[in-house]
Structure 1
Amino acid sequence: MKAEKVLDDDLAYEILSVVEEIPEGNVATYGQIARLIGREKNSRLVARVLSHAEYYGEFPCHRVVNHMGRTAPGWREQRFLLEDEGVTFKENGCVDMKKYQWDC
């Protein structure tokens, strides 16, 4: 079964509507988005939906990182997209969450 068929469209759009609200130059975490939709223990589900976001339209998924500020594995462009928005990275390659995390 294809992964995009496993996802519930309503849930996907609920997650992506939150992602759409992340301001340029800020980041949110998978867990933060999960909490905002009332599913605080489902950060992996958020990550899974974001990995299939292209099936639902264009969303600023590059603004979502893990709780330490690490970008998605295998998605080199994510860092460049964030840097284009003025987000800087610490020496360890992570976003400075104290400085750039979305205060929602």
Structure 2
Amino acid sequence: MAEIDKTRQILETVMVIPAGKVATYGQIADLAGLPGRARLVGSSLRSEFDGAEVPWQRVLRADGKIAFPSGSPKAEEQRQILIAEGVCVKNNRVSLADYRWQPDMATILSALKY
């Protein structure tokens, strides 16, 4: 499978995360059919995607933390966007127990194009 196809799968998966919910890099890799490729999720989020608005802010580390360094402009931007979407962010961390996106298989299959 070509890297561009993998990137497309990842970004299409991220685009399905609803506002007010978050997912981890590893979770997105799993849902995109790429288990163990959490780092690829991170690099894919930095790429272009046909001009589509990809909700990158909804993807967090496995411990619920924002991946950008605390106090950095990108960390603050991500924090502010998540708060505006109704997600509680404390110390640059989101409670995955409260806000993790848990789609069922029907949701995944109906929303994804690959």
Is 2:20 the counterpart of 1:21? no
What are the equivalent positions in structure 2 for 1:18-97 lying under 5 Å apart? 18-52=13-47, 55-56=48-49, 57=51, 58-73=53-68, 74=72, 75=74, 76-90=76-90, 92-97=91-96
Instruction: Say which SS state the counterpart of residue 38 (structure 1) adopts.
Output: coil
1:10 pairs with one of 5, 13, 30: 5
Percent identity among equivalent residues? 42
- Given the two structures, how large is their TM-score scaled by the length of structure 1? 0.84
Query: Contact (CA 8 Å) 1:72, 1:78: kept in 2 or not?
Result: no
Q: What amino acid maps onto 2:35 in structure 1?
A: E
Q: In the aligned structure 2, how far is the partner of 1:79 from the partner of 1:72?
A: 11
Query: Contact (CA 8 Å) 1:30, 1:65: kept in 2 or not?
Result: yes
Structure 1 unpaired stretches of 5+: 1-6
Q: How far off its partner does 1:71 sit?
A: 1.0
Runs (4 or more) in structure 1 with deviation over 6 Å come to none
Q: What amino acid maps onto 2:79 in structure 1?
A: R
Aligned-CA RMSD value = 1.5
Query: Contact (CA 8 Å) 1:29, 1:64: kept in 2 or not?
Result: yes
Q: How far off its partner does 1:12 sit?
A: 1.2
Instruction: Say which SS state the counterpart of residue 21 (structure 1) adopts.
Output: coil
Query: Contact (CA 8 Å) 1:34, 1:40: kept in 2 or not?
Result: yes
